[in-house]
Structure 1
Protein backbone atom coordinates (compact mmCIF):
# COMPACT_ATOMS: atom_id res chain seq x y z
CA UNK A 1 0.00 0.00 0.00
CA UNK A 2 1.39 3.45 -0.95
CA UNK A 3 1.85 6.29 1.51
CA UNK A 4 -1.07 8.17 -0.06
CA UNK A 5 -3.34 5.13 0.27
CA UNK A 6 -2.28 4.68 3.90
CA UNK A 7 -3.13 8.35 4.58
CA UNK A 8 -6.56 7.93 2.98
CA UNK A 9 -7.22 4.79 5.01
CA UNK A 10 -6.27 6.63 8.22
CA UNK A 11 -9.05 9.15 7.56
CA UNK A 12 -11.67 6.47 6.93
CA UNK A 13 -14.57 5.95 9.29
CA UNK A 14 -17.79 3.98 9.40
CA UNK A 15 -20.99 5.94 8.80
CA UNK A 16 -24.58 5.05 9.60
CA UNK A 17 -26.81 5.36 6.52
CA UNK A 18 -30.55 4.93 6.16
CA UNK A 19 -31.55 4.39 2.52
CA UNK A 20 -35.11 4.10 1.25
CA UNK A 21 -35.76 0.80 -0.53
CA UNK A 22 -38.99 -0.02 -2.29
CA UNK A 23 -41.22 0.38 -5.32
CA UNK A 24 -44.68 1.82 -6.16
CA UNK A 25 -46.26 -0.79 -3.89
CA UNK A 26 -44.41 0.49 -0.84
CA UNK A 27 -41.11 0.34 0.99
CA UNK A 28 -39.13 1.75 3.87
CA UNK A 29 -35.75 2.79 5.22
CA UNK A 30 -33.00 0.19 5.57
CA UNK A 31 -30.00 0.59 7.85
CA UNK A 32 -26.42 0.26 6.59
CA UNK A 33 -22.99 0.65 8.14
CA UNK A 34 -20.59 1.69 5.40
CA UNK A 35 -17.02 2.90 5.08
CA UNK A 36 -16.39 6.55 4.24
CA UNK A 37 -13.05 7.92 3.01
CA UNK A 38 -11.68 11.43 2.87
CA UNK A 39 -13.10 13.59 0.06
CA UNK A 40 -16.03 11.34 -0.84
CA UNK A 41 -19.53 12.44 -1.76
CA UNK A 42 -22.82 10.73 -0.98
CA UNK A 43 -22.93 9.12 -4.43
CA UNK A 44 -19.61 7.40 -3.66
CA UNK A 45 -21.20 5.86 -0.60
CA UNK A 46 -24.25 4.71 -2.53
CA UNK A 47 -21.94 3.08 -5.06
CA UNK A 48 -20.04 1.38 -2.23
CA UNK A 49 -23.32 0.03 -0.88
CA UNK A 50 -24.11 -1.36 -4.32
CA UNK A 51 -20.69 -2.99 -4.51
CA UNK A 52 -20.64 -4.48 -1.02
CA UNK A 53 -24.09 -4.83 0.56
CA UNK A 54 -26.99 -3.99 -1.76
CA UNK A 55 -26.20 -4.94 -5.37
CA UNK A 56 -29.83 -4.41 -6.42
CA UNK A 57 -30.06 -0.86 -5.04
CA UNK A 58 -31.45 1.39 -7.81
CA UNK A 59 -30.06 4.91 -8.26
CA UNK A 60 -29.99 7.18 -11.28
CA UNK A 61 -26.69 8.91 -12.09
CA UNK A 62 -24.49 9.79 -15.06
CA UNK A 63 -21.75 12.42 -14.97
CA UNK A 64 -20.81 12.57 -11.23
CA UNK A 65 -19.80 16.19 -11.87
CA UNK A 66 -22.97 18.13 -11.03
CA UNK A 67 -23.82 18.83 -14.67
CA UNK A 68 -26.33 16.18 -15.79
CA UNK A 69 -28.91 16.52 -13.01
CA UNK A 70 -29.49 12.75 -12.87
CA UNK A 71 -28.68 11.89 -9.26
CA UNK A 72 -31.30 14.08 -7.58
CA UNK A 73 -32.60 12.73 -4.27
CA UNK A 74 -33.25 13.92 -0.75
CA UNK A 75 -30.55 13.80 1.91
CA UNK A 76 -31.76 14.26 5.47
CA UNK A 77 -34.96 15.66 3.98
CA UNK A 78 -33.33 18.27 1.76
CA UNK A 79 -33.39 17.97 -2.07
CA UNK A 80 -29.78 17.65 -3.25
CA UNK A 81 -27.55 16.14 -5.90
CA UNK A 82 -25.90 13.00 -4.53
CA UNK A 83 -22.71 13.75 -6.45
CA UNK A 84 -22.35 17.30 -5.10
CA UNK A 85 -23.03 16.59 -1.43
CA UNK A 86 -19.76 15.95 0.37
CA UNK A 87 -19.68 13.63 3.34
CA UNK A 88 -17.60 16.23 5.16
CA UNK A 89 -20.73 18.40 5.68
CA UNK A 90 -22.11 15.77 8.07
CA UNK A 91 -20.92 15.02 11.57
CA UNK A 92 -19.30 11.58 11.66
CA UNK A 93 -21.76 10.46 14.33
CA UNK A 94 -24.75 11.69 12.32
CA UNK A 95 -27.11 9.30 10.57
CA UNK A 96 -27.37 10.18 6.87
CA UNK A 97 -30.80 9.43 5.43
CA UNK A 98 -31.19 9.17 1.64
CA UNK A 99 -34.67 9.05 0.13
CA UNK A 100 -36.14 9.57 -3.36
CA UNK A 101 -37.59 12.93 -4.43
CA UNK A 102 -40.92 13.20 -2.69
CA UNK A 103 -42.80 15.17 -5.35
CA UNK A 104 -42.57 12.41 -7.97
CA UNK A 105 -43.74 8.78 -8.10
CA UNK A 106 -41.20 6.14 -7.09
CA UNK A 107 -40.06 3.68 -9.74
CA UNK A 108 -37.68 1.80 -7.47
CA UNK A 109 -35.50 2.72 -4.49
CA UNK A 110 -33.98 6.17 -5.19
CA UNK A 111 -35.25 6.39 -8.79
CA UNK A 112 -38.37 8.47 -9.42
CA UNK A 113 -40.58 9.02 -12.45
CA UNK A 114 -39.91 12.64 -13.50
CA UNK A 115 -41.97 12.49 -16.71
CA UNK A 116 -44.23 15.21 -15.26
CA UNK A 117 -41.45 17.68 -15.99
CA UNK A 118 -41.10 16.68 -19.62
CA UNK A 119 -44.85 17.02 -20.07
CA UNK A 120 -44.67 20.56 -18.69
CA UNK A 121 -41.69 21.37 -20.92
CA UNK A 122 -43.72 20.48 -24.00
CA UNK A 123 -46.45 22.89 -22.90
CA UNK A 124 -44.14 25.94 -23.12
CA UNK A 125 -44.14 27.35 -26.68
CA UNK A 126 -40.62 27.56 -28.13
CA UNK A 127 -38.66 30.70 -28.99
CA UNK A 128 -40.10 32.48 -32.02
CA UNK A 129 -37.30 33.96 -34.16
CA UNK A 130 -37.75 37.50 -35.48
CA UNK A 131 -38.99 37.78 -39.05
CA UNK A 132 -36.53 38.98 -41.65
CA UNK A 133 -33.38 38.15 -39.69
CA UNK A 134 -31.03 35.25 -40.27
CA UNK A 135 -29.57 33.52 -37.21
CA UNK A 136 -26.19 35.25 -37.63
CA UNK A 137 -27.85 38.66 -37.70
CA UNK A 138 -29.28 38.56 -34.18
CA UNK A 139 -28.07 41.43 -31.99
CA UNK A 140 -28.61 41.76 -28.23
CA UNK A 141 -27.36 43.94 -25.42
CA UNK A 142 -24.94 42.22 -23.07
CA UNK A 143 -27.32 42.53 -20.10
CA UNK A 144 -29.95 40.60 -22.06
CA UNK A 145 -27.38 37.94 -22.94
CA UNK A 146 -26.37 37.65 -19.28
CA UNK A 147 -29.99 37.17 -18.22
CA UNK A 148 -30.58 34.35 -20.69
CA UNK A 149 -27.28 32.72 -19.81
CA UNK A 150 -28.17 32.63 -16.12
CA UNK A 151 -31.45 30.85 -16.82
CA UNK A 152 -29.80 28.48 -19.29
CA UNK A 153 -27.39 27.23 -16.63
CA UNK A 154 -30.27 25.00 -15.50
CA UNK A 155 -29.24 21.31 -15.60
CA UNK A 156 -32.83 20.09 -15.15
CA UNK A 157 -32.14 18.23 -11.96
CA UNK A 158 -35.72 19.13 -10.97
CA UNK A 159 -34.75 19.82 -7.37
CA UNK A 160 -36.62 23.13 -7.59
CA UNK A 161 -39.69 21.25 -8.78
CA UNK A 162 -39.30 18.75 -5.95
CA UNK A 163 -39.00 21.33 -3.18
CA UNK A 164 -41.85 23.55 -4.43
CA UNK A 165 -44.66 22.95 -1.95
CA UNK A 166 -47.29 23.70 -4.61
CA UNK A 167 -46.60 20.29 -6.18
CA UNK A 168 -44.75 18.61 -3.31
CA UNK A 169 -47.68 18.82 -0.91
CA UNK A 170 -50.59 19.08 -3.37
CA UNK A 171 -50.63 16.44 -6.09
CA UNK A 172 -53.90 17.88 -7.38
CA UNK A 173 -52.10 21.09 -8.44
CA UNK A 174 -49.88 19.38 -11.01
CA UNK A 175 -52.26 19.67 -14.00
CA UNK A 176 -52.49 23.45 -13.55
CA UNK A 177 -48.96 24.32 -12.36
CA UNK A 178 -45.78 24.14 -14.43
CA UNK A 179 -43.43 24.62 -11.48
CA UNK A 180 -40.47 27.00 -11.03
CA UNK A 181 -38.24 25.37 -13.65
CA UNK A 182 -40.72 25.96 -16.48
CA UNK A 183 -42.04 29.29 -15.24
CA UNK A 184 -38.39 30.34 -15.40
CA UNK A 185 -38.36 29.19 -19.03
CA UNK A 186 -41.45 31.28 -19.75
CA UNK A 187 -39.79 34.27 -18.05
CA UNK A 188 -36.62 33.79 -20.11
CA UNK A 189 -38.59 33.84 -23.35
CA UNK A 190 -40.80 36.76 -22.31
CA UNK A 191 -37.71 38.82 -21.42
CA UNK A 192 -35.84 37.83 -24.58
CA UNK A 193 -35.60 40.94 -26.81
CA UNK A 194 -35.65 38.88 -30.00
CA UNK A 195 -38.59 36.62 -29.18
CA UNK A 196 -41.34 37.47 -31.66
CA UNK A 197 -44.09 35.38 -30.07
CA UNK A 198 -46.32 38.43 -29.61
CA UNK A 199 -46.26 39.09 -33.35
CA UNK A 200 -47.86 35.71 -33.91
CA UNK A 201 -50.52 36.35 -31.29
CA UNK A 202 -48.91 34.48 -28.39
CA UNK A 203 -49.09 36.37 -25.10
CA UNK A 204 -46.53 34.68 -22.84
CA UNK A 205 -47.55 36.74 -19.80
CA UNK A 206 -51.19 35.74 -20.13
CA UNK A 207 -50.34 32.07 -20.66
CA UNK A 208 -47.97 32.16 -17.66
CA UNK A 209 -50.92 33.17 -15.51
CA UNK A 210 -53.75 31.26 -17.17
CA UNK A 211 -52.06 28.08 -18.42
CA UNK A 212 -48.88 27.58 -16.39
CA UNK A 213 -50.20 28.53 -12.95
CA UNK A 214 -48.01 31.53 -12.13
CA UNK A 215 -50.53 32.64 -9.52
CA UNK A 216 -49.90 29.49 -7.47
CA UNK A 217 -46.33 30.61 -6.75
CA UNK A 218 -46.05 32.57 -3.50
CA UNK A 219 -42.32 33.35 -3.85
CA UNK A 220 -41.01 31.51 -0.78
CA UNK A 221 -37.62 31.14 -2.55
CA UNK A 222 -37.36 27.45 -1.65
CA UNK A 223 -36.59 26.74 -5.33
CA UNK A 224 -33.68 29.19 -5.30
CA UNK A 225 -32.28 27.68 -2.11
CA UNK A 226 -31.87 24.18 -3.57
CA UNK A 227 -30.61 25.13 -7.05
CA UNK A 228 -27.13 23.56 -7.53
CA UNK A 229 -26.34 26.13 -10.24
CA UNK A 230 -27.20 29.02 -7.88
CA UNK A 231 -29.73 30.50 -10.30
CA UNK A 232 -31.78 33.22 -8.61
CA UNK A 233 -35.02 31.66 -9.82
CA UNK A 234 -37.32 33.69 -7.59
CA UNK A 235 -35.68 37.11 -7.76
CA UNK A 236 -34.62 37.11 -11.40
CA UNK A 237 -37.38 35.07 -13.06
CA UNK A 238 -40.55 34.48 -11.02
CA UNK A 239 -40.98 37.89 -9.40
CA UNK A 240 -40.28 39.82 -12.65
CA UNK A 241 -42.68 37.51 -14.51
CA UNK A 242 -45.37 38.16 -11.90
CA UNK A 243 -44.82 41.91 -12.28
CA UNK A 244 -45.05 41.70 -16.06
CA UNK A 245 -48.20 39.60 -15.89
CA UNK A 246 -49.80 42.06 -13.46
CA UNK A 247 -48.86 45.02 -15.68
CA UNK A 248 -50.33 43.34 -18.75
CA UNK A 249 -53.61 42.62 -16.96
CA UNK A 250 -54.13 45.57 -14.62
CA UNK A 251 -51.99 48.57 -15.66
CA UNK A 252 -54.36 50.99 -17.49
CA UNK A 253 -51.55 52.51 -19.56
CA UNK A 254 -50.45 49.09 -20.80
CA UNK A 255 -54.09 48.26 -21.58
CA UNK A 256 -54.56 51.54 -23.49
CA UNK A 257 -51.31 51.01 -25.41
CA UNK A 258 -52.45 47.55 -26.52
CA UNK A 259 -55.75 49.00 -27.78
CA UNK A 260 -53.98 51.75 -29.75
CA UNK A 261 -51.58 49.23 -31.25
CA UNK A 262 -54.46 47.04 -32.39
CA UNK A 263 -56.23 49.97 -34.05
CA UNK A 264 -53.10 50.89 -36.00
CA UNK A 265 -52.80 47.33 -37.21
Structure 2
Protein backbone atom coordinates (compact mmCIF):
# COMPACT_ATOMS: atom_id res chain seq x y z
CA UNK A 1 0.00 0.00 0.00
CA UNK A 2 1.33 3.44 -0.94
CA UNK A 3 1.26 6.52 1.26
CA UNK A 4 2.58 10.08 1.28
CA UNK A 5 5.63 10.66 3.47
CA UNK A 6 7.14 13.90 4.68
CA UNK A 7 10.91 14.07 4.08
CA UNK A 8 13.30 16.73 5.30
CA UNK A 9 16.54 16.47 3.32
CA UNK A 10 19.63 18.54 3.97
CA UNK A 11 20.61 20.60 0.92
CA UNK A 12 23.73 22.70 0.71
CA UNK A 13 27.50 22.61 0.41
CA UNK A 14 30.62 23.45 2.40
CA UNK A 15 29.47 27.05 2.76
CA UNK A 16 26.21 26.10 4.47
CA UNK A 17 22.73 24.77 3.86
CA UNK A 18 19.43 23.82 5.42
CA UNK A 19 16.72 21.18 5.54
CA UNK A 20 14.31 21.23 2.61
CA UNK A 21 10.81 19.78 2.90
CA UNK A 22 9.48 17.25 0.38
CA UNK A 23 6.29 15.22 0.18
CA UNK A 24 6.91 11.99 -1.68
CA UNK A 25 5.05 8.77 -2.42
CA UNK A 26 6.28 5.64 -0.62
CA UNK A 27 5.49 2.18 -1.96
CA UNK A 28 5.50 -1.12 -0.12
CA UNK A 29 8.94 -2.65 0.40
CA UNK A 30 10.94 0.51 -0.33
CA UNK A 31 14.01 1.78 1.48
CA UNK A 32 15.15 5.35 2.09
CA UNK A 33 17.46 5.28 -0.93
CA UNK A 34 14.47 4.48 -3.16
CA UNK A 35 12.80 7.66 -1.91
CA UNK A 36 15.93 9.74 -2.49
CA UNK A 37 16.08 8.43 -6.06
CA UNK A 38 12.39 9.29 -6.54
CA UNK A 39 13.06 12.81 -5.35
CA UNK A 40 15.88 13.07 -7.89
CA UNK A 41 13.53 11.89 -10.63
CA UNK A 42 10.60 14.15 -9.73
CA UNK A 43 11.48 17.19 -7.63
CA UNK A 44 15.21 17.58 -7.03
CA UNK A 45 17.21 16.51 -10.07
CA UNK A 46 20.34 18.17 -8.68
CA UNK A 47 20.22 16.37 -5.30
CA UNK A 48 23.68 14.92 -4.69
CA UNK A 49 23.90 11.46 -3.13
CA UNK A 50 26.59 8.80 -3.20
CA UNK A 51 25.51 5.19 -3.84
CA UNK A 52 26.58 2.13 -5.78
CA UNK A 53 25.36 -1.41 -5.05
CA UNK A 54 22.03 -0.76 -3.31
CA UNK A 55 22.59 -4.06 -1.49
CA UNK A 56 24.33 -3.03 1.71
CA UNK A 57 27.75 -4.20 0.57
CA UNK A 58 29.55 -1.18 -0.89
CA UNK A 59 29.16 1.24 2.03
CA UNK A 60 28.60 4.18 -0.32
CA UNK A 61 25.17 5.47 0.74
CA UNK A 62 26.04 6.31 4.34
CA UNK A 63 24.02 9.17 5.84
CA UNK A 64 22.16 10.07 9.02
CA UNK A 65 18.48 9.19 9.16
CA UNK A 66 16.57 10.80 12.01
CA UNK A 67 19.92 11.53 13.61
CA UNK A 68 21.27 7.97 13.46
CA UNK A 69 24.12 6.92 11.12
CA UNK A 70 22.71 4.36 8.68
CA UNK A 71 22.99 2.99 5.17
CA UNK A 72 20.12 4.45 3.17
CA UNK A 73 19.79 1.27 1.12
CA UNK A 74 19.32 -0.84 4.26
CA UNK A 75 16.84 1.42 6.08
CA UNK A 76 13.35 0.19 5.30
CA UNK A 77 10.58 2.74 5.24
CA UNK A 78 8.34 0.22 7.00
CA UNK A 79 10.52 0.58 10.10
CA UNK A 80 9.97 4.35 10.28
CA UNK A 81 6.89 6.01 11.70
CA UNK A 82 4.81 7.22 8.71
CA UNK A 83 3.29 9.96 10.88
CA UNK A 84 6.70 11.53 11.56
CA UNK A 85 8.98 13.35 9.10
CA UNK A 86 12.02 11.43 7.90
CA UNK A 87 15.09 13.62 8.34
CA UNK A 88 18.02 12.73 6.06
CA UNK A 89 21.31 14.54 6.62
CA UNK A 90 24.95 13.95 5.63
CA UNK A 91 27.38 12.28 8.03
CA UNK A 92 28.23 14.90 10.61
CA UNK A 93 31.81 13.84 11.32
CA UNK A 94 33.07 14.70 7.83
CA UNK A 95 33.09 17.86 5.71
CA UNK A 96 30.14 18.29 3.36
CA UNK A 97 30.86 18.31 -0.36
CA UNK A 98 27.25 18.85 -1.45
CA UNK A 99 23.88 17.76 -0.11
CA UNK A 100 24.25 14.20 1.25
CA UNK A 101 27.78 13.67 -0.03
CA UNK A 102 30.65 14.09 2.42
CA UNK A 103 34.42 14.16 2.03
CA UNK A 104 35.63 10.95 3.71
CA UNK A 105 39.29 11.33 2.69
CA UNK A 106 40.17 11.46 6.42
CA UNK A 107 39.54 7.73 6.52
CA UNK A 108 41.82 6.94 3.60
CA UNK A 109 44.58 9.01 5.17
CA UNK A 110 44.22 6.99 8.39
CA UNK A 111 44.27 3.72 6.43
CA UNK A 112 47.64 4.63 4.93
CA UNK A 113 49.05 5.16 8.43
CA UNK A 114 48.51 1.51 9.42
CA UNK A 115 51.40 -0.72 8.27
CA UNK A 116 50.06 -3.60 6.21
CA UNK A 117 50.40 -7.32 6.91
CA UNK A 118 54.05 -8.43 7.03
CA UNK A 119 54.53 -11.90 5.46
CA UNK A 120 56.29 -14.36 7.77
CA UNK A 121 59.94 -15.01 7.01
CA UNK A 122 60.71 -18.24 5.20
CA UNK A 123 57.10 -18.94 4.21
CA UNK A 124 56.22 -18.61 0.57
CA UNK A 125 52.88 -17.70 -1.06
CA UNK A 126 50.45 -20.60 -0.76
CA UNK A 127 52.28 -22.03 2.24
CA UNK A 128 50.47 -20.09 4.96
CA UNK A 129 48.83 -22.33 7.55
CA UNK A 130 46.51 -21.16 10.35
CA UNK A 131 44.18 -22.74 12.85
CA UNK A 132 40.52 -22.37 11.91
CA UNK A 133 39.91 -20.54 15.20
CA UNK A 134 42.43 -17.87 14.22
CA UNK A 135 40.89 -17.57 10.76
CA UNK A 136 37.47 -17.02 12.33
CA UNK A 137 38.71 -14.31 14.68
CA UNK A 138 40.13 -12.13 11.93
CA UNK A 139 37.46 -13.00 9.38
CA UNK A 140 34.85 -11.09 11.40
CA UNK A 141 36.79 -7.86 10.89
CA UNK A 142 37.20 -8.60 7.19
CA UNK A 143 33.44 -8.17 6.77
CA UNK A 144 33.91 -4.39 7.05
CA UNK A 145 32.45 -2.61 3.99
CA UNK A 146 34.07 0.73 4.90
CA UNK A 147 30.81 2.62 5.16
CA UNK A 148 32.53 4.68 7.90
CA UNK A 149 29.36 4.79 10.01
CA UNK A 150 31.45 3.72 13.01
CA UNK A 151 33.80 6.62 12.33
CA UNK A 152 30.85 8.98 12.04
CA UNK A 153 29.17 7.95 15.28
CA UNK A 154 32.39 7.89 17.35
CA UNK A 155 32.14 11.01 19.49
CA UNK A 156 35.94 11.30 19.65
CA UNK A 157 35.89 12.04 15.90
CA UNK A 158 32.39 13.48 15.62
CA UNK A 159 32.52 16.08 18.39
CA UNK A 160 36.21 16.97 18.55
CA UNK A 161 37.81 18.05 15.30
CA UNK A 162 41.09 18.56 17.15
CA UNK A 163 41.33 14.80 17.81
CA UNK A 164 41.45 13.80 14.14
CA UNK A 165 45.23 14.20 13.69
CA UNK A 166 45.97 11.81 16.57
CA UNK A 167 43.02 9.39 16.54
CA UNK A 168 42.49 6.75 13.84
CA UNK A 169 38.93 5.92 14.84
CA UNK A 170 37.29 2.52 15.45
CA UNK A 171 37.51 1.27 11.87
CA UNK A 172 41.31 1.54 11.74
CA UNK A 173 41.97 0.56 15.34
CA UNK A 174 40.01 -2.57 14.41
CA UNK A 175 42.43 -3.05 11.51
CA UNK A 176 45.38 -2.74 13.88
CA UNK A 177 43.74 -5.27 16.22
CA UNK A 178 43.17 -7.68 13.33
CA UNK A 179 46.82 -7.55 12.31
CA UNK A 180 48.05 -7.73 15.90
CA UNK A 181 46.15 -10.97 16.54
CA UNK A 182 47.13 -12.51 13.19
CA UNK A 183 49.35 -15.52 13.99
CA UNK A 184 51.36 -15.18 10.77
CA UNK A 185 51.99 -11.43 10.87
CA UNK A 186 55.74 -10.83 10.99
CA UNK A 187 55.52 -7.19 12.06
CA UNK A 188 57.55 -7.69 15.25
CA UNK A 189 60.44 -9.23 13.32
CA UNK A 190 60.29 -6.26 10.94
CA UNK A 191 60.57 -3.81 13.84
CA UNK A 192 56.90 -2.84 13.92
CA UNK A 193 55.28 -2.83 17.37
CA UNK A 194 51.55 -2.78 16.65
CA UNK A 195 50.52 -2.48 20.30
CA UNK A 196 52.78 0.49 20.91
CA UNK A 197 51.66 2.09 17.64
CA UNK A 198 48.00 1.63 18.55
CA UNK A 199 48.54 3.49 21.81
CA UNK A 200 51.02 6.16 20.75
CA UNK A 201 50.32 6.76 17.06
CA UNK A 202 46.68 5.81 16.48
CA UNK A 203 45.16 7.16 19.71
CA UNK A 204 43.82 3.95 21.25
CA UNK A 205 43.65 5.67 24.65
CA UNK A 206 41.05 8.14 23.34
CA UNK A 207 38.53 5.30 22.92
CA UNK A 208 36.33 4.96 26.01
CA UNK A 209 34.46 1.87 24.73
CA UNK A 210 30.93 3.29 24.65
CA UNK A 211 30.11 0.68 21.95
CA UNK A 212 28.39 3.26 19.73
CA UNK A 213 30.53 2.04 16.81
CA UNK A 214 29.28 -1.53 17.27
CA UNK A 215 25.66 -0.37 17.45
CA UNK A 216 25.69 1.25 13.99
CA UNK A 217 27.75 -1.39 12.13
CA UNK A 218 25.60 -2.77 9.28
CA UNK A 219 27.72 -5.93 9.21
CA UNK A 220 27.14 -6.53 12.94
CA UNK A 221 30.86 -6.64 13.68
CA UNK A 222 31.50 -6.55 17.42
CA UNK A 223 34.07 -3.81 17.04
CA UNK A 224 34.29 -2.90 20.72
CA UNK A 225 34.10 -6.33 22.35
CA UNK A 226 36.19 -8.31 19.87
CA UNK A 227 38.70 -5.73 18.63
CA UNK A 228 39.08 -2.58 20.72
CA UNK A 229 38.83 -3.96 24.25
CA UNK A 230 41.22 -6.89 23.60
CA UNK A 231 43.64 -4.49 21.88
CA UNK A 232 43.49 -2.17 24.88
CA UNK A 233 44.22 -5.11 27.20
CA UNK A 234 47.20 -6.25 25.14
CA UNK A 235 48.57 -2.71 24.88
CA UNK A 236 48.30 -2.19 28.64
CA UNK A 237 49.95 -5.56 29.36
CA UNK A 238 52.72 -4.70 26.94
CA UNK A 239 53.40 -1.40 28.66
CA UNK A 240 52.68 -1.96 32.35
CA UNK A 241 52.74 -5.68 33.22
CA UNK A 242 56.24 -6.29 34.68
CA UNK A 243 56.33 -9.94 33.57
CA UNK A 244 55.34 -9.09 30.02
CA UNK A 245 57.89 -6.26 30.00
CA UNK A 246 60.65 -8.57 31.27
CA UNK A 247 59.73 -11.26 28.76
CA UNK A 248 59.93 -8.81 25.88
CA UNK A 249 63.40 -7.72 27.00
CA UNK A 250 64.62 -11.32 27.28
CA UNK A 251 63.30 -12.21 23.84
CA UNK A 252 64.83 -9.07 22.35
CA UNK A 253 68.23 -9.85 23.90
CA UNK A 254 68.05 -13.43 22.65
TM range (shorter): over 0.9
Q: Does 1:76 align with 2:66?
A: yes
Partner of residue 22, structure 2: 32
Partner of residue 145, structure 2: 155
Q: How does 1:74-113 map to 2 (within 5 A)?
A: 74-113=64-103
Measure, in 1, the Cα distance between the counterparts of 2:14 and 2:136.
Answer: 42
Measure, in 2, the Cα distance between the counterparts of 1:212 and 1:77.
Answer: 28
Partner of residue 221, structure 1: 211
After TM superposition, the score normalised by the length of structure 1 is 0.95
Partner of residue 192, structure 2: 202
Q: Does 1:12 align with 2:2?
A: yes
Partner of residue 241, structure 1: 231
Q: Does 1:170 align with 2:160?
A: yes
Q: Does 1:67 align with 2:52?
A: no
Measure, in 2, the Cα distance between the counterparts of 1:253 and 1:149.
Answer: 31
Deviation at 1:201, TM superposition (A): 1.0
Gaps of 5+ in 1: 1-10
Partner of residue 181, structure 1: 171
Larger helix fraction of residues: 1
Q: Does 1:115 align with 2:105?
A: yes
Partner of residue 22, structure 1: 12
Secondary structure of 1:135 counterpart: coil
The counterpart of 1:47, out of the listed 22, 27, 37, is: 37
After TM superposition, the score normalised by the length of structure 2 is 0.99
Deviation at 1:115, TM superposition (A): 0.1
Q: Does 1:134 align with 2:104?
A: no
Secondary structure of 1:137 counterpart: coil
Gaps of 5+ in 2: none
Output the aligned Cα RMSD.
0.4
| Stretches (4+) displaced over 2 A | none
Secondary structure of 1:19 counterpart: strand
Question: Which segment is superposed worse, 100-109 or 131-140?
Answer: 131-140
Secondary structure of 2:70 counterpart: strand
Measure, in 2, the Cα distance between the counterparts of 1:95 and 1:143.
Answer: 46
Measure, in 1, the Cα distance between the counterparts of 2:5 and 2:128.
Answer: 55
Per-residue deviation, residues 163-185 of structure 1 (Å, max 9, x unmatched): 00001000000000000000000
Measure, in 2, the Cα distance between the counterparts of 1:86 and 1:263.
Answer: 59
Secondary structure of 1:200 counterpart: coil
Secondary structure of 2:52 counterpart: coil
Deviation at 1:59, TM superposition (A): 0.2
Per-residue deviation, residues 208-232 of structure 1 (Å, max 9, x unmatched): 0000000000000000000000000
Measure, in 1, the Cα distance between the counterparts of 2:54 and 2:253.
Answer: 56
